[in-house]
Structure 1
Amino acid sequence: MYDITATIVLYCNSKVLLSKAINSFLNTHLSVNLYLVDNSPSDELKCMCTSENIEYFFMNSNNGFGAGHNFIMRQPEKMGKYHLVLNPDVSFAPGTLEKLYDYMENNPDVGNVMPKIIYPNGDLQYLCKLLPTPMDWIGRMFIPFKSIKKRINDKFEMRFADYESEMNVPYLSGCFMFLRKSVIEEVGVFDEGIFMYGEDTDLNRRIYQKYRTMYYPKVTITHAFEKGSHKSLRLFWIHVKAAIYYLNKWGWFFDKERRGINKKTKLAYTSLK
């Protein structure tokens, strides 16, 4: 069994950014294997298979982000002891995987760990979040007032917390999910009812119900993040539909578990600075 495997789901990606992600993952002394699952219209990105530790799968259709990752995660024999859900626009320094591997080895009650994530210019990305309410996900998309949006985002993105401290977070970003294989086998894979945006919320919530899902800022990665749903009408509606699906599944205004988890999280991590 590999120490770590990873999937990168592709769709007409930048070869420059993808190359950085691939090289970051393969640059380790651990036993690793990388799966490129390509949802693109053509197999042009097959040329990125530059190592014997890369396997390429051309899907000839785009069934969504979660479905792409599930193609591997539904095959336990392909996964390592730990499996990384990795975005094609993420990069990190040598030693990163080793530190996360050691962290998981020393914390068997952790099902998912996410490092500190920064933009290429060094600014922090606020990717630790509370479980979303209808206002967090849908309301703020349509509210025209920046001050109200900022107030919603500050709470939802846990800006009240100290991002230099470890935290058990109910919603961690899907751009980098360092998962324990045994936990995925127990709680399941991504819900394919969500095409994109929100599948990470749903999976992390299911893991959080039984394990800790940790933000670990002693390790830092870079994410060349662009909010595509803010620039494309098609992606915007995919985002809206994902939010509706998630809220239909877990509850709109009457979600007792969400209220309890969010209250506990705010009490535990509100910074005294």
Structure 2
Amino acid sequence: MNKTKDLTFSIVAYKNYNQIINAVNTINKFTPNYSKEILVVDNTEDENRKDYSKDINQLSKLDNVTLIANKANLGFGKANNIALHKAQSNFFVICNPDILLIEDSFSKIIPYIKENPKIGAVIPKLIDKNHKIEPVYRRELTIWDVFIRYFHPFNSFQKRRAYHTMQDQDFSKPFKVPFGQGSFIVVRTDLMKQLKGFDERYFMYVEDADLCKRINQVSTLEYFPYTSVIHLWEKGSHKNPKLMKWHIQSMAKYFKKWGSK
């Protein structure tokens, strides 16, 4: 019988093995006191994987890594759920490939969650490469906020944008987060399994908003200001028409499921 580990890191790969190697190296470096499994669920299609054989081989040899190869791109939520099904841990870490740990964050996060039974998940201070805090903490999605984001220039509706990204909060203190971007969220594994993970009807995008809403229905997702994690945010859906199409389709599914405000 497998011994329960402290942490399961779930990382979804899609041709970005070098980036994941960097992330894994920081995970191994800055979690010295915790047992862990790093489950890399590979969504790269079979026919493309051969082009990255050297990188895949390097990744698979890193400490604590288990590589799970899908035959096709199953989407972000479904890939994370594959890792969740295999997870043997107390805490499940949804971790993007573009995450870099810079300190022993879990020596602060884990005791905090354990001491606060009402907290089911935390999202730490996510910062960019210049150590500026990113606007990844949001109030619940509304059609109005979506419309502003996609159909108005960035210099418009600044007050509403600031409200949606919770700029009125004191970021030196914890606070409840209705919607935390799913780049790096630490969830109690038993809670994640109770919720059956991500809703797989979302192929990519907005599945994190859906998950956060369900976490907050039975527990609390909280911003945790006492440790920082670097997120090399690429904002792909703003640059790629195909990704933007997926984003808008996912939002339509979200509002059909939860209603609009």
TM-score normalised per structure 1: 0.87
Partner of 2:15: 12
Q: Secondary structure at the match of 2:117?
A: coil
Aligned with residue 163 of structure 1, among 171, 189, 193 = 171
Aligned with residue 152 of structure 2, among 123, 129, 143 = 143
* Residue 50 of structure 1: how far off its partner (Å): 2.3
Q: How does 1:90-239 map to 2 (within 5 A)?
A: 90-144=99-153, 146-148=155-157, 150-239=158-247
Name whichever of 90-99 and 139-148 sits farther off.
139-148
Note if contact 1:117-1:221 (Cα within 8 Å) is conserved in structure 2: yes
Task: Give me the whole-angstrom Cα distance separating, in 1, the residues matched to 2:146 and 2:88.
Answer: 32
CA 1:145/1:127 → structure 2, altered by over 3 Å: closer, same or farther? Answer: closer
| Match status 1:37 vs 2:46 | no
Q: Which amino acid aligns with 1:110?
A: I
* Residue 52 of structure 1: how far off its partner (Å): 4.4
Note if contact 2:17-2:56 (Cα within 8 Å) is conserved in structure 1: no
* Residue 160 of structure 1: how far off its partner (Å): 1.3
Q: Which amino acid aligns with 1:114?
A: I
Q: Secondary structure at the match of 2:192?
A: helix
Task: Give me the whole-angstrom Cα distance separating, in 2, the residues matched to 1:238 and 1:114.
Answer: 25
CA 1:138/1:74 → structure 2, altered by over 3 Å: closer, same or farther? Answer: farther
| Match status 1:74 vs 2:85 | yes
Q: Secondary structure at the match of 1:81?
A: strand
Task: Give me the whole-angstrom Cα distance separating, in 1, the residues matched to 2:137 and 2:6.
Answer: 26
Q: Map Cα deviations across residues 30-73 of structure 1 (whole Å, 9 max, x no partner).
A: 11110010111333242212234110011021121111101121
* Residue 128 of structure 1: how far off its partner (Å): 1.1
Q: Which amino acid aligns with 2:111?
A: D
Q: Which amino acid aligns with 1:67?
A: K
CA RMSD of aligned residues (A): 1.5
CA 1:220/1:169 → structure 2, altered by over 3 Å: closer, same or farther? Answer: same
* Residue 169 of structure 1: how far off its partner (Å): 1.0
* Residue 98 of structure 1: how far off its partner (Å): 2.1
CA 1:52/1:14 → structure 2, altered by over 3 Å: closer, same or farther? Answer: closer
Task: Give me the whole-angstrom Cα distance separating, in 2, the residues matched to 1:140 and 1:85.
Answer: 25
Task: Give me the whole-angstrom Cα distance separating, in 2, the residues matched to 1:115 and 1:40.
Answer: 29
Q: Secondary structure at the match of 1:110?
A: coil
Q: Which amino acid aligns with 1:142?
A: F
Structure 2 gap segments, 5+ residues each: none
Q: Which amino acid aligns with 1:171?
A: F
Number of residue pairs matched by the alignment: 249
* Residue 14 of structure 1: how far off its partner (Å): 5.5
Q: Which amino acid aligns with 2:35?
A: S
Partner of 2:56: 46
TM-score normalised per structure 2: 0.91
* Residue 145 of structure 1: how far off its partner (Å): 6.9
Task: Give me the whole-angstrom Cα distance separating, in 2, the residues matched to 1:152 and 1:227.
Answer: 20
Q: Which amino acid aligns with 2:130?
A: N
